[in-house]
Structure 1
Amino acid sequence: MRTGSEPTTARSALRARFWLSVWGLVWATFGTVVFALVGQPGWAAACGVLWLVVSVDLAVILHHIHQGPHWQPGRQIPPYTPPEHHDR
């Protein structure tokens, strides 16, 4: 619901989220490989799970980026009036 108080030019920081996810993916991959080579299977598994979470997040971010901008009501569209609550 629009309240009229949100900025008209607000955008999600998808590009920043993309690069932070890439950074996390690199470190999670590095951690998984290093801990597996050193013989720390618990830490390697933890980094592997983190790698999986970051990969899913990256896929969602890319999906949102490829969707493109969505229509947002302009200044000529008034904000919705809040629903009235009736006390009974």
Structure 2
Amino acid sequence: MTTEQMISDWTDRNGGPRRFSRGESTDFLAIRSNLEKHGYKLSGHRYEYIVSKNGMSRRKFDWHGLLRFIDDLRVADGLPAILARLA
């Protein structure tokens, strides 16, 4: 199978690569900014990240869990998930 055939097969199965707008990344500051748009506050210490809303509800995440939380918000907004989904 040639490279072109493999690319064509992958595109047929997946619809093409995911696209992100400028400035969308997994950088801590970008994630914090994204969460602030949804009314959340993000703080972190070492390898634990705490997301709170209205100063009341708090959730603790590791990095991967934080990215899953962000993905849930992104998908609800109609944006592509940051983490790739396994086929």
TM-score normalised by L of structure 1: 0.26
TM, length-normalised to structure 2: 0.26
Greater relative contact order (Cα 8 A, min sep 6): structure 1 or 2? 1
Q: Give the structure with the higher percent strand.
A: 2
Structure with max Cα Rg? 1
